Amino acid sequence: MEAAIEEKTIKIKESNDVVTVRREAREYAEKLGFNLLEQTKIVTAASEIARNAIVFGGGGIARFTTIEKPDKRGLQISFIDHGPGIEDIEAAMKDGYTTGGGLGLGLGGTKRLMDEFHIRSEPGKGTSVTIVKYL
């Protein structure tokens, strides 16, 4: 059984909010006891998804949750936007796929940095991405 210990929600609408998400991710990761390498992975992943929520989803929220399972503890960050959604998630997860002129490493790279990566999207209704890293 999974228990939520602490939760904080941040609105993300503009590029300055990505900085806030990065700072919050680092603070949570540090407080939980992640080493510097793991903190960097968490911050990088959170930054990428927050930026995507702004650029492609028109903004949304980032929800930080400390989670505890019987055998491990970790940080879960959920991003929710109400933008146009992703029509082809499978294609969007492939390296090199981009609709915004970038390198196309965002979603796939984020998945590789984290222990869990869940994405749900419905065209016209938005996208939610949840990332988790365990100690």
Q: Which residues contact 130 (CB under 8 A, 6 or more apart)?
A: 76, 77, 78, 79, 116, 117, 118, 119
Domain tally for the chain? 1
Residue 60's CB is within 10 A of a number of other CB atoms, namely: 26
Is the whole model's pTM more than 0.95, yes or no?
Answer: no
Instruction: Give the CATH number for residue 28.
Output: 3.30.565.10
Q: Give the H or E element holding residue 50.
A: helix 36-55
pLDDT in tens, 11-45: 999 999 999 999 999 999 999 999 999 999 999 99
Contact 133, 114 (CB under 8 A): yes
pLDDT in tens, 29-87: 999 999 999 999 999 999 999 999 999 999 999 999 999 988 999 999 999 999 999 98
pLDDT in tens, 103-131: 434 788 899 999 999 999 999 999 999 99
pLDDT band at 96, cuts 50/70/90?
low
Residue 101 has pLDDT above 60, yes or no: no
| Better-predicted residue by pLDDT, 94 or 70 | 70
Range of the domain at 102: 3-134
Distance of CA 32 to the CA centre of its chain: 17
Residue 74 β-bridge partners: 67, 134
